[in-house]
Amino acid sequence: MTDSTPLTLLSSALADVVARTAPSVVSVHSHRARATGFAWKPGLIVTADEALADEGEVEIGLADGSRVAATIAGRDHTTDIALLRTEASVAPVKLASTVPPLGGLSIVVATHRETPSAALGMVSASGKGWRSLRGGDIDARIELDVRLRDSQQGGLALDASGDAFGMAVLGPRRVLVIPTATIERVAPQLEARGRIARGYLGLGLQPVRLDDGVGAMVMSVDKAGPSAAAGIRQGDVIVAVNDQKLSGVRALSRTLGPSSVGAVVEVAARRGGEPVSFKVTVGERPEA
């Protein structure tokens, strides 16, 4: 019998962490797409929206090798979170509220080719909340120095203690973690409504350069939308919202998060070169 070394102790500890978490992790199959998911609540699986096909049937693969049907309970493209509903019995995982420190070890427990998989890395970036390119609010920036396959998207990111602090996804040139705080904020809304409410002005906008800054020309108006009701017309040029000069069309779109629905905003514009203003009650973006 050989004495335990620091490396063998570390190896055993990591293996124990993976073994405890693996029963809560499943493979996700949807129209040629493969991903990973984990049990958030009994009968509800969280997975990466980006890895989920837009159409076709969905199945989840269980630890015993069997597959069972699942349905999409809801999905949010902006935060990369999708929620699946299934009758299969999968033990839910307990999500931790802590964010691991920069340089801390991290294990991603996922699936590959329908079998459990694990990848070891470290937290390479850790910072404050940020907004995704699609306009979703992510509660903390966490990047991992770890290599993941496409099928491992949606896997659980664990810290050195084995606590799950989020879901690993593939971002541009890096592995990102959608943190627990974001999952716990978005998943209940997907369970209840199937979608996340987003603000809606009912305008098609085109950026234009002005002598004193940037504007957004109204190219189209939804006749049933809130801007039409407020009197905004095609050809108007929006220059400010709530006394804040417009910095771009994308910046305006990013202000239309869930909390904006129902808010009244003051829109300053120019019509034929003359200043005009409107009070617009932000609506809820209709489903596509």
pTM of the predicted model, to two decimals?
0.81
- Identity of the amino acid at 230: A
Q: How far apart are CA 156 and CA 177, in angstroms?
A: 9
Q: What is the pLDDT of residues 150-188, one digit of tens each?
A: 999 999 999 999 999 999 999 988 999 999 999 999 999
For the record, the structure tokens of 67 come out as 């597959």
CA 271 from chain centre, in angstroms, equals: 38
- For residue range 264-273, list pLDDT tens digits in order: 999 999 999 8
Distance CA 78, CA 50 (A): 10
